[in-house]
Amino acid sequence: MTISKYSANGNDFVIFHTFVKKDRSFLAKKLCHRQDGVGADGLIVLVPHEKYDFEWQFYNSDGSEAEMCGNGSRACAHYASANELAPKKMSFLTLAGVINAEVDGNMVQSELTPPKILDKEIEHNGKKWWKVDTGVPHLVYLTDNIEEFDIDEARELRYKYNANVNIAFVDGKNLRVRTYERGVEGETLACGTGMAASFYRALEENLVGKSIEVYPKSGETLYLGMNDRTITFKGEVKRVFITEFCD
């Protein structure tokens, strides 16, 4: 089968489309393996949908299925437009709900599902964490030092609260974010929904404005904004290669 490898601000994905919707958790582990496969943070499969432009199946590299992925939504939209599966302005179905996206060359903006604050009072190791759902649940801690990210602590919190874990630093009018992602079980170079959750907490605490730049570990620039109910998420997407894979 023909597959594409995409990178969106350091998050990388294997993407293909098919007419058949089925469980592909084993294939995800095989394709995403860094040594024995293509290597990626996740697998995205596009299948037809009678109401929307398409439906996606999203798998983490460990084979677990995820409701949503911000950077994945942008890579997926670029792939759909490039393969003439959808117009440049599109809507597609995820487990988190309907995502709207727009492709302009290599710049892609997606509109995430409305954010929800699940808990503001999580105390751990003297730190105050918020739990925010931006399609998937995220823990967010605002820090004065973005370089100090305790991976062991993040892993402990990930399993205790079944959520991704983020630390965020308010850098002037903008934000720097680092994320430990469940399903990958480690720190990734970028996480779209994690940046959105961090932005939403900082916005709720009046630390940033409604339109900012966010910098993940990859160092690339993302543009986030708050509408009446939803967060827009814009940045560059790169198609790395197209190849044939023998399943």
User: Does residue 203 contact residue 225 with C-beta atoms inside 8 Å?
Assistant: no
C-alpha 234/C-alpha 157 separation (Å) is 28
Q: Which helix (H) or strand (E) holds 100?
A: strand 97-104
Task: Answer yes or no: are the C-beta atoms of 235 and 74 closer than 8 Å.
Answer: yes
Measured CA to CA in angstroms, residue 84 lies from 43, 87, 151 at distances of 20, 7, 41
**CA–CA separation, 183 and 107 (whole Å):** 27
Torsions phi, psi of 214, nearest 5? Answer: -125, 135
Give me the residues paired with residue 175 across strands.
170, 214
Query: Could you give the CA distance from residue 151 to residue 148 in angstroms, rounded to a whole number?
Result: 9
Q: Active-site residues: which are they? A: 69, 191
Q: What are the C-alpha distances in Å from 126 to residues 64, 93, 103, 121?
A: 32, 39, 43, 12
Give the 3-state secondary structure of residue 148.
Answer: coil
Half-sphere exposure (Cβ direction) of 210: Cα atoms closer than 13 Å: 5
Element (H, E) at 199: helix 192-204
